[in-house]
């Protein structure tokens, strides 16, 4: 079995009396494609925010490649190799698709801060190479020169993934990568994620059960901020508690 790349122990996040996440013991192995599912309000997005450093944990710890990263902020975690693609594509709308990826590649090559007041910005071969590579991976090279804000919803999300890839992550967090996509776009994104899974560890939140069941190596089910079940797609499908959680008042997402 491969090495554990990401691990949480007793991880929790409370907003006042409300525990959005609690007692989460979670491990992902290198190369795995893990889905995190659960009804709305189960704490999936909070969990991703804790992992990516957008939010700070109020309990427990996070380890990445054996190193405790709990106190590190977002930029430091990206530098270590944790990248996130957003549920709603979060791009630089006025920049070109390529420039969106270039910025991510620049962060990877220069670090979180570099005072380079006299180095012209647009002459960095290494940065260009990484950016083009990322665009190729998501099959968006043809639109490299387009203004990011002008793209369709589906294309924006693919560029968002390319931006995350351009930071050269070891683990990629995908927050609902196919939400709001057409069937054709879902099919393309499904193929894209399968391709990416050969190169890096992937953690994804998704509601599209057909896709999840087909694509995942294993699934973690969150319910009311806690882990309800974990296992292979077949195990999760057969799990009585999971079915109850989904049927208990939530109609969205059928297992």
Q: Which of 8, 46, 52, 239 binds another protein (CB under 8 A)?
A: 52
Position 103 contacts another protein (CB under 8 A): yes
CB of 75 to another protein, least distance (A): 5
Quick check: 16 and 198 in contact, CB under 8 A? no
Whose Cβ is closer to another protein: residue 109's or residue 224's? 109
Interface with another protein (CB under 8 A), residue total: 39
Q: Which of 57, 107, 130, 211 binds another protein (CB under 8 A)?
A: 107
Position 192 contacts another protein (CB under 8 A): no
Residue written as token pair 């009311």: 224
| Partners of 230 in beta bridges | 220
Position 65 contacts another protein (CB under 8 A): no
Cα(155)–Cα(170) distance, rounded to whole angstroms? Answer: 23
Position 83 contacts another protein (CB under 8 A): yes
Cα(21)–Cα(13) distance, rounded to whole angstroms? Answer: 5
Position 92 contacts another protein (CB under 8 A): yes
Q: Which of 73, 180, 195, 214 binds another protein (CB under 8 A)?
A: 73
Position 56 contacts another protein (CB under 8 A): no
- CA gyration radius, the chain: 18
Whose Cβ is closer to another protein: residue 153's or residue 187's? 153
Whose Cβ is closer to another protein: residue 13's or residue 102's? 102
Position 11 contacts another protein (CB under 8 A): no
Position 172 contacts another protein (CB under 8 A): no
Position 115 contacts another protein (CB under 8 A): yes
> HSE of 87 in the Cβ direction (CA atoms, 13 Å)?
11
Q: Which of 25, 68, 71, 94 binds another protein (CB under 8 A)?
A: 94
Whose Cβ is closer to another protein: residue 121's or residue 182's? 121
Residue written as token pair 């196919």: 178
Buried/exposed 128-160: b ≥16 CB within 10 Å, e otherwise: bebbbbbbebbebbebbeeebeebeebbbbbbb
Position 146 contacts another protein (CB under 8 A): no
Residue 35: exposure state from Cβ atoms within 10 A (0-12, 13-18, ≥19):
buried
Q: For residue 199, count other CB atoms closer than 10 A to its CB.
A: 13
> HSE of 168 in the Cβ direction (CA atoms, 13 Å)?
17
**Binding positions for another protein, rule: CB under 8 A:** 52, 54, 73-75, 78-79, 83-84, 86, 90-95, 103-104, 106-108, 110-122, 124, 163-164, 166-167
């Amino acid at each position: 079995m491969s090495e554990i790349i990401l691990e949480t122990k007793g991880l929790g996040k409370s907003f006042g009396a409300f525990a959005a996440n609690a007692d989460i013991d979670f491990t992902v192995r290198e190369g795995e494609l893990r889905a995190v599912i659960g009804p709305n309000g189960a704490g999936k997005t909070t969990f991703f925010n804790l992992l990516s450093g957008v939010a700070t944990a109020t309990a427990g710890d996070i380890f990445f490649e054996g190193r405790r990263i709990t106190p590190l902020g977002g930029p430091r975690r990206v530098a270590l190799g944790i990248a996130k693609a957003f549920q709603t594509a979060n791009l630089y709308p006025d920049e070109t698709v390529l420039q969106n990826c270039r910025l991510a590649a620049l962060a990877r090559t220069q670090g979180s801060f570099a005072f380079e007041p006299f180095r012209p910005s647009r002459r960095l071969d290494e940065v260009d190479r990484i950016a083009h590579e990322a665009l190729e991976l998501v099959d968006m090279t043809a639109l490299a020169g387009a203004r990011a804000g002008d793209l369709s919803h589906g294309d924006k999300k693919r560029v968002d993934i390319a931006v995350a890839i351009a930071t050269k992550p070891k683990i990629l967090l995908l927050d609902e990568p196919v939400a709001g996509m057409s069937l054709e776009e879902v099919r393309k994104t499904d193929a894209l994620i399968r391709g990416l899974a050969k190169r890096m560890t992937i953690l994804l939140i998704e509601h599209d059960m057909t896709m999840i069941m087909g694509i995942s190596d294993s699934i973690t089910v969150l319910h009311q901020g806690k882990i309800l079940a974990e296992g292979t797609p077949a195990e999760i499908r057969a799990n009585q508690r999971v079915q109850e959680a989904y049927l208990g008042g939530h109609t969205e997402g059928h297992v």
